[in-house]
Amino acid sequence: MAHRRRPRSEPWRAIAANRTLGAAALERAALSALLADLTELPDSRVAARARQWARALSAAQPAMAPIQRLGRELAAELDQLSPGRHAKPALRRWVHRESRRAALEASQLSKIVARRLPIASRVLTVSRSSTLLSALSGLSVGRRPLEVSALRSDPGGEGAAFARDLRRAGLRARVYPDRAARQLLARPGALLLLGADAVFPDGSLLHKVGTRTVARLARFLGAPVVVVAGGSKRLIARPVRINRLFDLTPGELIDEIWTDRGVQIPARGRLRRVRTRTAFAASRSEFVGARGTPKATALAGSPRAAPPSSVPARPRRAKARRPGSPPR
């Protein structure tokens, strides 16, 4: 008896169904799958297939800005192709160009994190972010955090996989249950460092469900909240429906957003670029004690750190008086 052949599953379905990878990693997976799929087709069918990909990506992950952007950019590239032009070479070049752009964005983010992350900080993360993995693993040994604590991030438990990724990269990392967030954020030098699935013009953040609760707890305890997100994570409009695996963190709970083009802060309902020294540009020598241990609960220079008036003033050294000069 002849068996019926199962219809081949469309490759973009794996992108839409994925619930473990972060937005940046899923973007790379989508580009790789797109290139492999188009390479197998005759040139006469490539343009039509790419149209299918563009529509599928636009609907695949509504909460992930990079996937949405890929769908729009692919559709725009197809609109620019002339009817008599061979589509396969042009689309192959587009995929390679997008891959280089993503790699450059990750490289720039790593440089920003290396400049801004205070030495001897204790980093707490939520979910599994390939952007944070790339940035933290690229730090020199002397600039790495004392420890990276990954919340398990239920449902899904992506934090456990992220802790393993970090340990493979040579960092000190442990996974903790979500209920341990308060204890971890109360430690000296605690810093909540977040990836992003999407960032909106008002500075709000779409990320793994539970992020808003942890960010609100960090504000209450005085721990700074920093988001690391490149330009590909920007979405102009919020999705009509947000998947139950994501939540929206308002910009008022975020201190800084480190991007591939600099540092931004949410202010008055919009993002403003920071051009001067601000919260995390303080002298790192003030933050580190004699043996590399943090000296204060809040990061030095943090907007929620103790005000300068509460710090005891250094006694002034009396100047020597010249012989015969009158006393002051």
- CA 301, CA 226: separation in Å to the nearest integer? 14
Give the alpha-carbon dihedral of 266, 22, 34, 135, to 10 degrees: 70
pLDDT for 131 equals 93
Indicate whether 92 belongs to any domain. Answer: yes
Q: Are residues 95 and 115 in the same domain?
A: no
Q: What number of other Cβ atoms are within 10 A of residue 161's Cβ?
A: 18
Indicate whether 5 belongs to any domain. Answer: no
Q: Are residues 18 and 127 in the same domain?
A: no
pTM of the full structure: 0.80
pLDDT range class, residue 229, cuts 50, 70, 90 = very high
Structural domain span for residue 45: 12-105
CATH number at residue 178: 3.40.50.10470
Indicate whether 166 belongs to any domain. Answer: yes
Question: What pLDDT digit, counting tens, does each position of 99-121 carry?
Answer: 999 999 999 999 999 999 998 89
pLDDT for 85 equals 66
Q: Are residues 203 and 290 in the same domain?
A: yes
Q: Is the pLDDT of residue 307 over 70?
A: no
- Specify the 3-state DSSP secondary structure of 47: helix
Indicate whether 129 belongs to any domain. Answer: yes
Q: Is the pLDDT of residue 321 over 60?
A: no
Total of domains in the chain: 2
Cβ–Cβ under 8 Å, residues 207 and 127: yes
Can you tell me the mean pLDDT for 125-148?
94
**Cis before 155? omega within 30:** yes
- CA 251, CA 4: separation in Å to the nearest integer? 54
Question: What pLDDT digit, counting tens, does each position of 35-87 carry?
Answer: 999 999 898 899 999 999 999 999 898 889 999 999 999 999 999 987 766 88
Q: Which domain-ending residue is among 53, 74, 105? A: 105
Cβ–Cβ under 8 Å, residues 199 and 237: no
Q: Are residues 130 and 276 in the same domain?
A: yes
Can you tell me the mean pLDDT for 154-164?
94
Q: Are residues 41 and 158 in the same domain?
A: no
- Specify the 3-state DSSP secondary structure of 258: strand
Can you tell me the mean pLDDT for 11-28?
90
Q: Which domain-ending residue is among 105, 135, 157? A: 105
Cβ–Cβ under 8 Å, residues 191 and 223: yes
137: left (phi over 0), alpha (psi -120 to 50) or beta: alpha
Summary mean pLDDT of the chain? 83
Q: Are residues 291 and 188 in the same domain?
A: yes
Cβ–Cβ under 8 Å, residues 12 and 57: yes
